[in-house]
Amino acid sequence: MNKFFTLLSITFLSSCVSVQKYNAHIDEKIDTDKLRKDVDFTKEKLLRKHVDIDLYYSKETIANRLDSFKNTIQQPMKPNDFSRELSKVVSSFGHGHTVVTSFSRKITKETKKKYKDSKGPMNLLEFKSLDNHLYLNKNNSKDSTLVLQAEILSINGIKFQDYYNLYNNYRKGDGYITTLSKYMYGNSYLRFVSNEIGVQDSIFISFQKNDSVFTKIVKREYKEKKDKSFKKNSLDTIQKKSNEEQKFAKLSKEQKLKRKQLLDHKKKVKKYFAYSSFSKEYQREISFPDKNDSTTVVLKIKTFSLGNSKKAYPFIFDSINKLNVKNLILDVRNNGGGYVRDANYLYSFLTTRNQRQAVMTDKMRVNSKFGLMKNYFQSFGVIGNTLGLPLAIYKYSESIIKTKKEKDGYYYKVTGKKDFLLQPERYKGNLYVLTNGMSYSATSILSAALQNEGKAIFVGEETGGDYNGTVAGSFNDFKLKNSKLKIYYGMIDFKPNTSRDLKGRGIIPNVPIEITFDDVVKRKDTQLDWILSDIKNKH
């Protein structure tokens, strides 16, 4: 027994030491020579491993930019400062999925235990950015006095404007696109502040609304403890359930069937529209801009990372067709992408083509014959390769068989028979598509395919993703020896089922309308308003 407690103590202490060592590295300045070696390693790895690294700029230009950056390093830097400056260089190559990581501080098990049943003040709020403005987009705290869409000037004295000046252009979209970066600062500013101030029970936020500047204190919130009346409440719940069962027993067969159908429908709505218990929101939404008109509908898709798409979209479009919708507004603003196959199912209900078609092209460039196989091997790990050996062998074999060498390099066959869809009940009415700079990755692939068909009217901003595709799919990474930073990069050059001569630009809307910060403050959606006005004028 004593040996057990001794071992437990050693494990606990080693855990504390490893956290301290990890956090100490964040604050440690790294010598210039070591940082320069990390830059050289980055250059060697990206030029050799990154598929189509020279899609927008030549390898010589990329090498020169990294060499120029290396020569600017004249003094030691902390890892996250080095990450910021290296990110600006790497993002200039035009591959938005290629990311230089930064470090977030870890907390000890003791601290985790202390705050187990609580949410920190910054976890209760959702911030969004637009250019050099930061605002409160969502308030999940109990403090109802916090003003949504109010501009945030600082948290605990750390000014957002100072952060913005430091980090401006650290993340960009694909190619030569400039619309994505202005949306990237909300979450990254929160991470920056968290690293600076550590775990806090309360924070001071300086807000500005119109001409008024004011400060609010946001406090940590704990789960409510069950009080003595819990038992009574439980008994009340049991009694209520019993009463409902008695009422149900008195219903006729037809009434019982209708009630069952209604409950089943509600379950399907929750499942297929992807209700999130955390955010208390649906990730797929149908709404009616005019409550008196069911023929104009907004279908908002917030992400393509949900799954259930094979059943979700038939369910959604069955509802749309039953409503006899004449004007469908597909809102993919702020949809950063996800699974291309998810976007493909949505596309199959919107395409005008009368033959089986996938949203993506059949084969896509990869860097080598065995690159994907090696990546699967690394991602499965020792345990996965041992316990999941049959699956591992299948994935390895599939990646090798599907990768073929052609004149200009290696290509991986992405699509299969199940990806070529032809829906019998496609949507055939008027179609509008709302996009902005955060419409990215799989969202851009979907948008390119739809714009190519010429049916949809695109309104809003140029997408952050390239019309001609993006390097993403399966991801790999490498670690820089001295700064310990990781750089993630895509391994497949994903392409939509179309292409155009204009290089390095996103899906450019037919009607370009930019949302201003004044629009945000006044909660005006000028992009949607234009569409509703256009629908009205055409009637």
Between CA 491 and CA 474 the distance in angstroms is 6
185 and 284 both lie in a single domain: no
| Whole-prediction pTM | 0.89
**Does some domain include residue 486?**
no
Phi, then psi, of 425 in degrees rounded to 5: -115, 65
**Does some domain include residue 167?**
yes
**Does some domain include residue 479?**
no
Q: How many percent of the chain have pLDDT more than 70?
A: 89
Amino acid at 377: F
196 and 335 both lie in a single domain: no
**Does some domain include residue 472?**
no
Amino acid at 103: F
Give the residue ranges of DSSP H helices in 413-512: 442-453
526 and 450 both lie in a single domain: yes
**Does some domain include residue 53?**
yes
Chosen domain end from 53, 69, 100: 100
290 and 356 both lie in a single domain: yes
**Does some domain include residue 287?**
yes
Domain span at 392:
366-413
**Total count of domains within the chain:** 4
Q: How long, in residues, is the chain?
A: 539
68 and 195 both lie in a single domain: no
CA-angle at 526, arms to 168 and 439, nearest 5°: 50
**Does some domain include residue 376?**
yes
The per-residue pLDDT for range 419-474, each reduced to its tens digit, is: 999 898 899 999 999 999 999 999 999 999 999 999 999 999 999 999 999 999 88
61 and 176 both lie in a single domain: no
CA-angle at 518, arms to 513 and 520, nearest 5°: 80
272 and 354 both lie in a single domain: yes
294 and 326 both lie in a single domain: yes
Average confidence score pLDDT of the chain: 89
349 and 431 both lie in a single domain: yes
The per-residue pLDDT for range 481-496, each reduced to its tens digit, is: 999 999 999 999 999 9
Question: Is the per-residue pLDDT at 4 higher than 80?
Answer: no
339 and 406 both lie in a single domain: no
356 and 372 both lie in a single domain: no
Question: Is the per-residue pLDDT at 14 higher than 50?
Answer: no
122 and 84 both lie in a single domain: no
Helix, strand or coil for residue 192? helix
- CATH number of the domain residue 205 falls in: 2.30.42
